[in-house]
A and B are shown apart, each in its own frame.
Chain A
């Protein structure tokens, strides 16, 4: 059986299928047999997650006001969580992809706040403990849950030092097309992988910039010329629970 594969140009999100057919052309064919790659795309390697990259965030705690939660609201809208049926009456059971944590230094009394989400570790404990490989790290360092494979055992939630993962405790409807989520599986911050793949930045970063605080910087940690790499080189920063040696992709300055 021969499958003529189509080469689609990079597509903006508001185009539909027929335009791809219109503007695309066949590039490769491959026999369809069990265990064999179904199709090959000409020159498409660059379209996939680049193993040479490592996406990360740098959060300047000094620029993050305690009363602002624009990043959390933006994430809710972007990824469609926070409005589950029992989110209000069972907040402890409601999923939380990103949260604002308020801190008070016990010895000095200094008060500040910062957002905490999946820290996209280089050595993620959630990936180590997942029995079915549902937790995984993409080649470009983004840690995700494969909800097709997640059996809902919640061991990753036990293993995560950041409480970044949530279990969906009830039926979910009207999910965002780019952020599928459903009952009985675990979910967490995806670093807005759909935006990153389209060349954009996570919704939280965008919202933070919109407020004018610009406390969050997104970029490729591996690219020495990127803004984030330059900032990390120039100013001191820390990772939460650095002692665990997980090398998170999310860093904080002025913590």
Chain B
């Protein structure tokens, strides 16, 4: 009995070893944009709450100017595969899966949502003067 216990502990230790090497957690891939001003910790804890809240705002009320949108998460956090194209949630390297696989929480988003950024498309409308500062900033940064 005692021997079995030791064996089990040993197995548990072995399976935990790669995790320990990764500083007690999954290795989260780097995003391409600037860091969240609220801090990563805040988003790791609250992302579901924020996304559910803002999704209802967007979908039910048509409020598009929300902060947490899955599309933007996917845009900025996309992980590129060997072919240089972003991987989908089918791939375990996908940024959502690195953590969700680790904590064994099923993601129900990508049966309907695309888990990869869409190819850049044309603006849906002509930019208004009010948009111009943002657009100029974008172009400037893109040129850098």
Contact = CB atoms under 8 A, between A and B. Distances in A.
- A–B touch (CB < 8 A): the answer is yes
B59 to A, nearest CB: 6
Contact of B121 (A14, A174, A181): A14
Q: Is the interface of A mostly helix, strand, loop or mixed?
A: loop
Contact of A19 (B60, B74, B138): B138
A22 B134 contact: yes
A20 B133 CA distance: 10
Contacts of A16: 33, 72, 75-76, 138
Contacts of A178: 71
A17 B76 contact: yes
Interface stretch (B5-13, B20-28, B96-104, B123-131): B123-131
Interface residues of A, number: 61
B19 interface: no
B111 interface: yes
Interface stretch (A3-11, A89-97, A110-118, A124-132): A3-11
Contacts of B33: 16-18, 21
Contact of A198 (B37, B67, B125, B141): B125
- Chain B's interface size range is 35 or more
Contacts of A136: 60
A147 B112 contact: yes
A121 to B, nearest CB: 18
Contacts of A139: 61-62
B2 interface: no
Nearest to A193: B62
A187 B55 CA distance: 17
Given A3-B38, A12-B135, 15 more contacts: A3-B42, A12-B123, A12-B125, A13-B121, A19-B137, A19-B138, A23-B134, A39-B67, A41-B65, A49-B61, A144-B59, A148-B55, A176-B118, A178-B71, A197-B64
Top 10 nearest A-B pairs by Cβ distance? A49-B62, A182-B112, A23-B134, A48-B63, A18-B33, A182-B111, A180-B112, A12-B123, A19-B138, A198-B124
Interface of A: 1, 3-23, 32, 37-39, 41, 44, 47-49, 136, 138-140, 142, 144, 146-148, 171-178, 180-185, 193-195, 197-200
28 contacts: A3-B38, A9-B131, A13-B122, A14-B122, A14-B123, A15-B134, A16-B72, A17-B72, A18-B33, A19-B135, A19-B138, A19-B141, A22-B134, A23-B134, A32-B46, A38-B49, A39-B67, A48-B63, A138-B60, A148-B55, A148-B59, A173-B88, A176-B118, A177-B114, A177-B118, A180-B112, A184-B111, A199-B125
